[in-house]
Amino acid sequence: MTDRTTYVTAAGLRERGWSDAMIGELLGQADVQGRDPRRWSPAPVRLYLLARVEAVERTPEFLPAAAAAGRGSAASGAGAERRRRAVLAAIRAEPIVVPRLPAAELERRAVRHRHLLGARGPGGITAGALARWQVGYLRQALARYETLLDGLYGDIGRADAERLLRRRLYEAIAAAYPGLAHECRRRMEVER
């Protein structure tokens, strides 16, 4: 396991003023590659040794490259902001269609979904647990709406778009199944 305090990701480098071209040109290959523990992604996370990054930042080649990257970042930032606004508008405009199932069928599917995920628990199912499972099942059934986030790369606006999409999905589930509204509100609070 790597100590993440001694490494910086490519996103962390961008926050420090690096461009992708600078990363490739001045740092080259990542020191460590692995999977992001926070979310699933097919691409490995590239980690750069912080001491090496700081050493390169002290070299005379770094300042001119950073200044040139800053000039180019304003134009790319405007493009990213346009994409972010377009994605947020698409999320707001997209009608969310929740599958309507009889209560017994929703319960059966939610329990089956829970077991397919490998979760096993005590024999008795509480009403709270069942509501969590049902909302989880419906949320998974609505996963196709995640494609609305396509076009947002990196961190610019992605968190806002994900929050808006989650809120819209939970509001749609609560509207379709009023008995699950409490669990939907709880999840919206927790997943802010």
Structural contact between residues 113 and 133, judged by C-beta atoms closer than 8 angstroms: yes
- Residue ranges with strand state E in the chain: 7-9, 32-34, 45-49
All residue ranges of the chain with pLDDT < 70 are 1-5, 35-41, 43, 68-80, 119-124, 151-156
pLDDT of residue 181: 95
d(CA 11, CA 189): 27
pLDDT of residue 124: 63
d(CA 172, CA 185): 11
d(CA 188, CA 185): 5
pLDDT of residue 170: 95
pLDDT of residue 71: 54
Give me the half-sphere count of Cα atoms (radius 13 Å) on the Cβ side of residue 104: 0
